């Protein structure tokens, strides 16, 4: 299930309006303080994350940045917009890794949308878990450059890695607390305990 259609007053989107072009969506994003997803002419407001959600995404970013310092890879926060050219989805993964160089969406003249992530990481939440694990995952799998998608659980210490196989298929690996998730496409490790580390607890 996708996140619900946005219901925020003062935005330029009118509830009665059914469809938007990608250019109109980009204009909404430029003027809005809230991020939105775009697909098939429809726009949805993305839910804000909890403190735990934000901290977990920060932990993942720190772990990856430390390991990728000497490589031509860059780690991005949820401020980076990614578009799936095969399906048209425009969205903001919690963490994105791009290697080799940025490829920009040809439809975004401002150059703020990229189309070539190697790894996409989503920190799940109760309201969007079903969408992230199913429909959104299927969109990410349509990006030719994506080698691994990581789903970080919100209700237990567990990472699920969805990895592209040489034959084009996909394999799933669950990594629980006390173990280490290995991102083979980046030659990086994510110790589960460190992903969920909370020095305030």
pLDDT tens digits for range 51-102: 999 999 999 999 999 999 999 999 999 999 999 999 999 999 999 999 999 9
Residue 39 domain-assigned (yes or no): no
Q: Give, in order, the Cα–Cα distances in Å from 78 to each of 17, 81, 193, 194.
A: 27, 8, 22, 20
Residue 124 domain-assigned (yes or no): yes
101: containing domain? 51-195
Q: pTM for the whole thing?
A: 0.89
Residue 21 domain-assigned (yes or no): no
CB 145 within 8 A of CB 131: no
Q: Which CATH number is 59's domain given?
A: 3.90.1570.10
Q: Per the structure, how many domains does the chain have?
A: 1
Residue 66 domain-assigned (yes or no): yes
98 forms bridges with which residues in the sheet?
A: 74
Residue 16 domain-assigned (yes or no): no
pLDDT over 80 (residue 7): no
**Average pLDDT in the 139-159 region?**
97
Residue 36 domain-assigned (yes or no): no
Tokens matching residue 8: 């925020």
Mean predicted lDDT score pLDDT of the chain: 91
Quickly tell me which residue has 């580390």 as its tokens.
197
């Amino acid at each position: 299930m996708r996140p619900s259609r946005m219901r925020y007053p003062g935005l330029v989107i009118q509830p009665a309006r059914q469809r938007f072009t990608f250019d109109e969506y980009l204009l909404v994003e430029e003027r809005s303080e809230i991020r939105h997803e775009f697909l098939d002419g429809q726009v949805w407001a993305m839910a804000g994350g909890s403190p735990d959600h934000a901290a977990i995404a920060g932990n993942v970013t720190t772990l990856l940045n430390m390991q990728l310092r000497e490589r031509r890879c860059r780690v991005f926060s949820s401020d980076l917009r990614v578009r799936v050219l095969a399906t048209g989805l425009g969205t903001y993964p919690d963490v994105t890794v791009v290697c080799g160089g940025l490829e920009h969406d040809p439809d975004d003249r401002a150059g703020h949308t990229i189309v070539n992530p190697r790894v996409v990481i989503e920190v799940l939440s109760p309201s969007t878990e079903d969408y992230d694990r199913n429909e959104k995952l299927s969109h990410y799998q349509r990006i030719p450059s994506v080698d691994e998608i990581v789903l970080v659980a919100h209700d237990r210490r567990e990472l699920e890695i969805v990895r592209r196989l040489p034959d084009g298929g996909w394999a799933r690996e669950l990594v629980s607390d006390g173990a280490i998730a290995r991102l083979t496409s980046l030659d990086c490790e994510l110790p589960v305990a460190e992903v969920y580390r909370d020095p305030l607890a």
